Amino acid sequence: MIALSFIGRDGHALPAEASPGETLLRAGQRAGQPMEGTCGGQMSCATCHVLIDPAYIDLLAPPSPEEEDMLDLVPDATRFSRLACQIVMDDRLDGLTARLP
């Protein structure tokens, strides 16, 4: 299992785990985080927007043009913004922190 944590909108950290190959969205939902993922992970809603810890951002595959288009619709997006449905967990991401904006 891959250890990670979510920082909720209230600022509290919640430890969680993900299986290799699982998306960050699914791991967050399983951990009880309020991550809608309304589109079912099809990258058409941006309701799984998260802010990735800067220490981990370069370990992720770059966002696709489609993901960048969706993030352009998010009013509070930053350079650390990603869609959790597009982040596939692997051992390199052990310890990752994702903040819910």
Given a contact cutoff of 8 angstroms between Cβ atoms, the answer to whether 67 and 42 are in contact is: no
User: How far is 99 from 101, CA to CA, in rounded Å?
Assistant: 6
Give, in degrees to the nearest 5, the angle at Cα 83 between 77 and 87.
135
Q: How far is CA 92 from the centre of its chain?
A: 15
* Per-residue pLDDT, 37: 82
Higher pLDDT, 45 or 99: 99
User: How far is 75 from 97, CA to CA, in rounded Å?
Assistant: 21
Question: pTM for the complete prediction?
Answer: 0.93
Confidence band for 99, pLDDT divided at 50, 70 and 90: very high
Q: How far is CA 50 from the centre of its chain?
A: 5
Q: Fold for 2-99, please state it.
A: Ubiquitin-like (UB roll) (3.10.20)
